[in-house]
Amino acid sequence: MGELIVEADGGSRGNPGPAGYGAVVLDPVSGEPLAEAAEYIGVATNNVAEYRGLIAGLKAARELAPEASVRVRMDSKLVVEQMSGRWKIKHPDMKPLAAEAARVFPAAQVRYEWIPRERNKHADRLANEAMDAGKRGQRWQPGHSAALAAARPAATGPGADTAAARVVGDHAAGAAKARAALAGTRPEPGTGSVTGAGARTGAGARTDSGAGTDPGAAPVAGAALAVPSVGAAAAEATTPAVGWAAADLGAPATLVLLRHGETALTPQRRFSGSGGSDPELSDAGRRQAEAAAALLAARGTVQEIVTSPLRRCRQTAAEVAERLGLEVRVEEGLREADFGAWEGLTFAEVRERYPDDLDAWLASPKAAPTGGESFAAVSRRVAAARDRLTTAHAGRTVLAVTHVTPIKTLVRLALGAPPESLFRMELSAASLSVVAYYRDGNASVRLLNDTSHLR
């Protein structure tokens, strides 16, 4: 039996927030797109959107060739592992979607493969096109998507572009090309006919939006599947207003801030910055990192991981990266403050040895620990790192594994709170905090010092 490839993705601008999915069916030999599907699904989470993309991709493949075996490729570790049966599906919103995906093809015909995000660009572009269309109160239109143009190899000669678009946008031609791929033949250029052994004549098929089910997502704009029956209608709808006063703030860059797990110094409450011995995680710290990784994998929202260069953060980030199947990038601006001569000392020991410096440090953010780095200096470098991350990852969710001072600083800056607020926040080892950054410069603190995964 021949094989088709389905690549699918989904995204949520806010998580939950305005969401959409994209899916493409590919010829496994040439990589040529045979069908595309995309839909804006209203307010939903990343996980829901990803599952909806999977369902749409499977249905698109079934429309083309119900007898085919299907290889699904996605950058969602959560969906791949759950659909492969290696992870349990615990979230009540995911169970009906996973069950629907499992019903499209017999289980023996489908296998799942995780791929890095950079190899899933076509489906990612489709999901973003669908969300952009929904934002305009419109419906994604098949056949001439930017994702298709980017995926299609350069063609030459009169009508080359329109011919390629017609193949993807026309069900009979797409089905013929799918059958050709399964039979080891290829359609004649610019037509839906197939030559060679095993070729069959294409037939029309029913319209299927591939929408799936999601009680929590408003069906604001209908799905658009690039293999419609002749005369399939496109229903226009108005996008509901979201956010404060229906303001269009765009998709925020969301930083999920994970403090590293414990080291040997943490329970003793000793100063441990970037100027000390760079301790590693303790056994308790490794267990905390594993617990945080399990929670983040279950949520399935993180799309990028960055970390402080210090060992305890890199070890914590590695635990999460292994569960999510993501790479880790070091961000120097996220390192802890340099506490100079205070490194490794308790507060009481600093009070005894450096009383004047300690009083100055407690009184002013411009005062530095003896031979160390002031809070004002930390604030400048953390703000620069924040700006780099939010600019590079607009509309995406980034896990930043870092330390007490950088996390408190990001929260303080987001709230517009005074420097002394740094001394009024509790931040436990392996705790999670979340800040969303909007393109108008505003920020929203969504979570602070969550340790529920450690209980």
Q: How far apart are CA 162 and CA 124, in angstroms?
A: 23
CB atoms under 10 Å from CB of 147, counted, come to 21
Q: How far apart are CA 4 and CA 135, in angstroms?
A: 32
The verdict on whether 100 is a catalytic residue reads: no
Contact, 449 vs 427, CB < 8 A?
Answer: yes
**Which of the following is catalytic: 260, 262, 290, 343?**
260
Binding-site residues for substrate sit at: 312
Mapped onto helix, strand or coil, the DSSP state of residue 264 is: coil
Q: How far apart are CA 412 and CA 378, in angstroms?
A: 12
Binding-site residues sit at: 312
Residues 6+ apart with CB under 8 A from 195: 185, 186, 187, 188
The verdict on whether 260 is a catalytic residue reads: yes
Q: Taken in order 408, 414, 420, 426, is the CA torsion positive or negative?
A: negative
CA 315 to chain centre: 22
**Which of the following is catalytic: 262, 319, 336, 373?**
336
Mapped onto helix, strand or coil, the DSSP state of residue 287 is: helix
Q: DSSP string spanning 308-354?
A: -SSHHHHHHHHHHHHHHT--EEE-GGGSPP--GGGTT-BHHHHHHH-
Active site residues: 260, 336
